[in-house]
Amino acid sequence: MATSPSSQIWHPSRGISFSPSPAKSWSWLGLAGKISPKTSAAEENQRDQLIGAGEKQCAPANPSDEAPTANSNDASVTAGEAPADTRLLDPSEPDAPTEDIPSDPPYPALEWKVSESLFRAAKSAAPGTPESFWSYRMYRGPGKDGSEQQVKVHYCKSRHTTDRVCEEYFMNEKVIGFDLEWVIDYGSRMQGARRNVSLIQLASPSRIALFHVACFPKDDDLVSGAFKKIMEDSSITKVGVWIKGDATRLRTNMNIDSKGLMELSHLYKLVTHLRTGEHKQINKKLIPLATQVKQYLHLPMFKGGDVRTSDWSRPLKMNQVIYSASDAYAGVQLYATLEHHRKQLNPCPPTPHHAELNLPIRLTDGSDLETSSDEELAEEPEAEDDQSQSLSPTAKRRLSKAHVQTKRGENKAPAKATSEVEKDSRPKDARLESAEAWAAAFKRENQPADRLDMVMLDCATPYELRAYHIWHTNKALSVTDVASILRSPPLVTRTVVSYIWAAVRKERLPVDRTRYFAEVVEALPEKQAKIARQAKYP
């Protein structure tokens, strides 16, 4: 049935717009009776805005346009528009399967399942085009009236609406997708939640919520009581990739002690390798969300382009809405799909423990798998290809062994896997010894000890600090020379460049500006170099 212009929410020629008739627009979105066309200014400030999308698979006419705010501090987005990616943790992960993506739709593990027609359209679309990627907009589910509904996304910019959306739509869910976005380029651990927990994403099968903490009114309490209750309830399972790191960021900046955390990488490893009998491959290494989506939801996930490193402290643009909503929703669908495949195994292994318990992955017979601990498995990152260079600085930090520590706060050497530096048979260079000693002292004096249990958020890693120290204190050395001192065979030069840049940016370390820009900034990938040139420091 044709939709009249007065009630149409989405049109490919103009992107997203609101009808001149508020009553019709909100009624179309299923909110008739909840919001009056004569809403007062106070009421307007207390609700979340609803942004709609139509049934057709089309991208916004102008993806850079900001999402409409309807004179409100809050918003709620319905339906999905275009794909978004996740943070890549290890694009060269050797455990990731290399077989072709299955051509059939994924198993419908939830009532909200992928539309077969949209799935087939994505499969037949030209590779690399927006239509070819996985997206939450492809999912449909039953409405209260029995009609087919699209996923709704609530964009909330106040604590009041965050409370209301949590209480009304998420408090009674048993499994919730969870993710965070933050200002990664200029944020500091001293700048508080608005910069360090800029956007919080939750997802259920039928809804996605974007709580834009960075845009809460100045006099708002940034911590929603309802959201805190959900995150601290161990009976509500929160699923995601690198979820312990995100939970640490919440605890550090918002005093929320999250429980019920499910690391999807653990479940992925269990399901993927137990059915092939490759028990040795079942460990706690993190697997990119995009890898998991590709294998189990049968479509590639969009890599995000510049969205990943965009400014999350300002009102969201439509491409940011799409990106962040898709990340959280992928977790919900992946968890249900992986659980379905787990239950098909015979004998059936138990679901992995919640991540915050720090327990081994359980095997089929109920015994714990003797896997290495987190810090033993998070190896030193090395940017070997262009894909890894496209990662944001934060994504690269997640790869670093120094960011995954035990609760004892020790940078413990691995029992079964030594680092590349330890494998080096050469006598240790005095400059390397000096850099390691300086890095250790710097960490003790400048980096809070209470963050060593999981992730040193916004802190330079030991690898970054020692690379900086060798380069900074030895003026005659080139970056290539530093790479040879750090390891044999030498580290990739661009990896050393990224280390030095990261150390300077995170810790505001002193540099010779002329040398820094000539040897480091100019050698960075284009996106990072642009960020470095625009930074206020050094």
Provide, rounded to the nearest whole percent, the portion of the chain with pLDDT above 90: 47
Q: Which residues contact 200 (CB under 8 A, 6 or more apart)?
A: 179, 180, 210, 211, 213, 227
Scored b (16 or more CB within 10 A) or e, 108-126 reads ebbebbbbeebbeebeeee
Q: What pLDDT sits at residue 86?
A: 33
Question: Does the pLDDT value for residue 400 go beyond 50?
Answer: no
For residue 379, the 8-state DSSP code is P
Rounded distance between C-alpha atoms, residue 18 and residue 28, angstroms: 11
SS3 category, 2 = coil
CA angle 103, 86, 157 (to 5 degrees): 125
Rounded distance between C-alpha atoms, residue 231 and residue 177, angstroms: 11
For the ranges 144-148, 266-270, 525-529, the maximum mean pLDDT occurs at 266-270
Q: What pLDDT sits at residue 421?
A: 38
**Domain range summary for the chain, segments of one domain joined by +:** 40-344, 381-534
Q: Which residues contact 242 (CB under 8 A, 6 or more apart)?
A: 87, 89, 263, 286, 398
* Nearest CA-CA partner of 210 in 196, 226, 224, 199: 199
Question: Does the pLDDT value for residue 168 go beyond 50?
Answer: yes
Question: Does the pLDDT value for residue 469 go beyond 90?
Answer: yes
Question: Does the pLDDT value for residue 455 go beyond 60?
Answer: no
Q: What pLDDT sits at residue 1?
A: 43
Mean pLDDT score, 125-154? 92
pTM over 0.85, yes/no: no
Provide, rounded to the nearest whole percent, the portion of the chain with pLDDT above 70: 65
108-123 confidence digits (pLDDT tens) = 999 999 999 999 999 9
- Which tokens in the block code for residue 476? 């005659």
Mean pLDDT score, 261-282? 92
67-102 confidence digits (pLDDT tens) = 444 334 555 554 433 333 333 344 444 444 545 788
20-29 confidence digits (pLDDT tens) = 333 332 222 3
Question: Does the pLDDT value for residue 262 go beyond 70?
Answer: yes
Question: Does the pLDDT value for residue 52 go beyond 60?
Answer: no
* Nearest CA-CA partner of 201 in 327, 349, 305: 327
In the structure, what pLDDT confidence band is assigned to residue 307 with cuts at 50, 70 and 90?
confident
Q: What pLDDT sits at residue 363?
A: 83
In the structure, what pLDDT confidence band is assigned to residue 277 with cuts at 50, 70 and 90?
confident
Which of 208-212, 489-493, 518-522 is predicted least confidently? Answer: 489-493
Sign, Cα dihedral of 354, 163, 217, 210:
positive
Q: What pLDDT sits at residue 325?
A: 95
Question: Does the pLDDT value for residue 409 go beyond 70?
Answer: no
**Which CATH superfamily hosts domain 40-344?**
Ribonuclease H-like superfamily/Ribonuclease H (3.30.420.10)
Mean pLDDT score, 252-280? 93
Q: What pLDDT sits at residue 452?
A: 41
Q: Which residues contact 26 (CB under 8 A, 6 or more apart)?
A: 32, 34, 35, 50
Q: What pLDDT sits at residue 77?
A: 53
Q: What rounded mean pLDDT belongs to the chain?
A: 75
356-392 confidence digits (pLDDT tens) = 999 999 886 656 665 544 433 333 333 333 333 334 4
209-260 confidence digits (pLDDT tens) = 999 999 999 999 999 999 999 999 999 999 999 999 899 889 989 999 999 9
What is the helix (H) or strand (E) element at residue 181, kind and residue range?
Answer: strand 175-181
